Structure 1
Amino acid sequence: MSATVVPPDPTIGAMLIGSILGAIAYGFTASQGYMYYSRSLKEPLPARLWVFATCLIDTVNTAFMTHLQYHYFLNNYGNPAAFMTPVWSLVSMVLLTAVVSFMVRAMFIRSVYQMSYSNPVPTVILGLLSTFNLVCGVLATVKFLTIKDGNFQTIKEYVYLDFASAIAADVAVAAALLVYFTSHKGGSARTQSMLQKLHMYIIGTGSLTVIIAVVALATFVAMPQKFVFLTPFMVWSKFYTNSLLSSLNIAKRSRDATVSVSLNNVVPPRYPGQLSGSLSGSNNTHSGQLSNSGPEITIQRVTESDEDFKSSYPLGKGL
């Protein structure tokens, strides 16, 4: 008599969907990373190394995501019991996601520190919140290793702490950036106009990490024994990395000079036959020359100094 085959949980497809979305998001990360390093030759070396380390960890995270798909859907095809124990690559993703989020927040906290004129109070508070989330991520990783029967209920408190602490840290960092962005008045009017658009973009992209965390937490609370929460979780770290890279890239583009026409530099038109120069006294010969026909317009390239922009937006100069 053949053994009864237990059908797999129908929500395991969420793991596959999360991997596909994560791979797509990593494509944006690679594109943003290329844009950053193709324009960052003048950026401080510590900033470039920090960004490189963040991208490298997220790349490893993506490789682990590919491995867990191979493990569950190929190596253990037709073996539903394999889903009862988290594979090492899935457990490692919990830790790497916590590390990536910590490193990305560190860059934004650095900006808060500079915009607050080196005020240690907000920096310490934000740093403690971010560090607490990192510790929660480490604890959740360790507890994931203890799961043997697919019972996520035994670690739910640690998962709650991981998601909740990340949400608290991200909201605090976004709020601090918003406060200092709106209160900072350095730079010219044109710089302030650019920064206003830049700030709204950064707050918007940063808010996506909060939304992803809220969705992951809500699905885990509602269905702790299901795999639905893995869909937002697998793209989570990608949103952190993209938030950092896109912010750095748009800061770089905003810092570039723009071309404008200054009406003060429009030269009155000269027409054929109009002479420039002076007559030679003894020979009565013309020493001037005819000007070209048509109006002559001088276009002035208006450039904001790097220091003006950087003082208004510290993330523009990196670590």
Structure 2
Amino acid sequence: MSNLTDVNAEILAQLDKGSTIGISFIGAVASSMVYGVTCVQTFHYYRSPRVKTDQLWLRCTVLVLWLLDSAQSSFAIHLNYYYLIENYANPPGLLISTWSMPALIVMNALTSVLVKMFFTFRVWRLSQNVPIAGLCIFVTWACFVMTIYYPARMFSFHNLFDAESKLERYAVAGLALDAFAATLISSILIFYLYKGRSGMPRSDDMIGRLILLTVATGCLATLVAIGNLIAYVAAPQSLYVLFFHFLNAKMDANAIMTSLNSREYARQGSSYGKTLSTTVDSRTIPLSNFRAPAVERIYQGADNEAAVNSSEYKVDIDASYPK
């Protein structure tokens, strides 16, 4: 009994609760809040009239993302329940690697690859550049493989700290590729949108809205991915990385949800107060006549056409998600 007490005391002496189970709990609470946003976004998408004109694969993508996010939230709750409730006053239990941790990482990896491939498709629609799209695809799947390898190996370890020490290089590689892929795809999207400005105030206003949406959705997810990497490299013996890991996939999922639910905002003309659907004049000028023909492929799908109006012309632009 004395030996067991000594072991428990030694574990507690070496364990910083604030930077381990404490930050894990805070991350689970924060991710639950973001999960609520995901649910609202999903509900809003399926209630929108646009869902009827979206292709089946796009509607299924939203459903799959919501299911993955729900599973990830469940695993995060179980992970904290295991360490904080089941192993309360049981210090050796804090060293055990429970199944929900690698399962959570798998859910994150599946969400990440789905979201990144979605935005890679948009990169292709914008650029029509095979090497650039190929680079995005390669980095995305390399990230997926490295991320999946980590939890696959983690199942074979009983001790959490043994798993972390022996798999650290794979974790760093996966997190670095994730941050790089997110940065690469967001940067390319912003670059081609910016390049697609035509010099016409109203069409430029639409492109500005698209850039704003890309920055608001993609860059936030990118910052979380970078924070995930920094937290793991800077403090490998703590669980600060879990805080970002709980949020990472949810930011990715909400990037797609926000992008889909904000299509009307992107189509709403300019600050002159006229909506895109208002026809002022009789002449239609395709965007392919302008400096950046790639922009007309930016938003293919939901409505087929949108119009930017002025007293002399309206500009047709394909919607962003393919039929």
Is the Cα–Cα contact under 8 Å of residues 54 and 100 in structure 1 kept in the other structure? yes
Q: Residue 131 of structure 1 corresponds to which residue in structure 2?
A: 141
The one-letter code of the counterpart of 2:56 is L
- The alpha-carbon distance between structure 1 residues 167 and 120, as it changes in their structure 2 partners (threshold 3 A), is same
Is the Cα–Cα contact under 8 Å of residues 44 and 317 in structure 1 kept in the other structure? no
- Of 274, 299, 303, the match for 1:314: 299
Secondary structure at the aligned position of 1:314 is classed as coil
Is the Cα–Cα contact under 8 Å of residues 112 and 177 in structure 1 kept in the other structure? yes
- Whether 1:26 and 2:28 are equivalent positions in the alignment is no
Secondary structure at the aligned position of 2:217 is classed as helix
Q: Distance in 2 between matches of 1:245 and 1:58?
A: 12
Q: Residue 230 of structure 2 corresponds to which residue in structure 1?
A: 218
For the pair shown, the structure with the greater C-alpha radius of gyration is 1
Q: Distance in 2 between matches of 1:184 and 1:139?
A: 39
- Whether 1:17 and 2:20 are equivalent positions in the alignment is no
Q: Residue 278 of structure 2 corresponds to which residue in structure 1?
A: 302
Q: Distance in 1 between matches of 2:236 and 2:56?
A: 44
Secondary structure at the aligned position of 1:83 is classed as helix
- Whether 1:63 and 2:86 are equivalent positions in the alignment is no
1:85-164 pair list within 5 angstroms: 85-116=96-127, 118-149=128-159, 150-151=161-162, 152-164=164-176
Is the Cα–Cα contact under 8 Å of residues 257 and 303 in structure 1 kept in the other structure? no
Q: Distance in 2 between matches of 1:95 and 1:217?
A: 17
- Whether 1:41 and 2:52 are equivalent positions in the alignment is yes
Q: Residue 61 of structure 2 corresponds to which residue in structure 1?
A: 50
Q: Residue 261 of structure 2 corresponds to which residue in structure 1?
A: 249
Residue-by-residue CA offset, 1:194-230 (whole Å, 9 max, x unaligned): 2212312312321222221222222222221212221
- Whether 1:237 and 2:246 are equivalent positions in the alignment is no
The one-letter code of the counterpart of 2:321 is G
- Whether 1:228 and 2:231 are equivalent positions in the alignment is no
Is the Cα–Cα contact under 8 Å of residues 78 and 100 in structure 2 kept in the other structure? yes
- The alpha-carbon distance between structure 1 residues 210 and 258, as it changes in their structure 2 partners (threshold 3 A), is closer
Residue-by-residue CA offset, 1:41-97 (whole Å, 9 max, x unaligned): 221111111121122111111111111122221222111222212211111111111
Secondary structure at the aligned position of 2:240 is classed as coil
Q: Residue 315 of structure 2 corresponds to which residue in structure 1?
A: none
The number of equivalent residue pairs is 281
Give the structure with the higher percent helix.
2
> What TM-score do you get using the length of structure 1 for normalisation?
0.79
- The alpha-carbon distance between structure 1 residues 85 and 234, as it changes in their structure 2 partners (threshold 3 A), is same
Q: Residue 90 of structure 2 corresponds to which residue in structure 1?
A: 79
Higher relative contact order (CA 8 A, sep 6+): 1
Q: Residue 292 of structure 1 corresponds to which residue in structure 2?
A: none
Is the Cα–Cα contact under 8 Å of residues 115 and 314 in structure 1 kept in the other structure? no
> What TM-score do you get using the length of structure 2 for normalisation?
0.78
Q: Residue 187 of structure 2 corresponds to which residue in structure 1?
A: 175
Q: Distance in 2 between matches of 1:142 and 1:181?
A: 39
Is the Cα–Cα contact under 8 Å of residues 147 and 174 in structure 2 kept in the other structure? yes
Q: Residue 281 of structure 1 corresponds to which residue in structure 2?
A: none
Instruction: Give, in angstroms, the shift of residue 186 of structure 1.
Output: 6.9
- The alpha-carbon distance between structure 1 residues 261 and 86, as it changes in their structure 2 partners (threshold 3 A), is closer
- The alpha-carbon distance between structure 1 residues 239 and 68, as it changes in their structure 2 partners (threshold 3 A), is same
Instruction: Give, in angstroms, the shift of residue 234 of structure 1.
Output: 0.8
Q: Distance in 1 between matches of 2:227 and 2:272?
A: 45
Q: Distance in 2 between matches of 1:169 and 1:64?
A: 25
- The alpha-carbon distance between structure 1 residues 226 and 106, as it changes in their structure 2 partners (threshold 3 A), is same
Q: Distance in 1 between matches of 2:105 and 2:235?
A: 18
Instruction: Give, in angstroms, the shift of residue 179 of structure 1.
Output: 1.7
Secondary structure at the aligned position of 2:139 is classed as helix
Q: Distance in 1 between matches of 2:103 and 2:26?
A: 19
Secondary structure at the aligned position of 1:302 is classed as coil
Is the Cα–Cα contact under 8 Å of residues 58 and 238 in structure 1 kept in the other structure? yes
Instruction: Give, in angstroms, the shift of residue 187 of structure 1.
Output: 11
The one-letter code of the counterpart of 2:193 is F
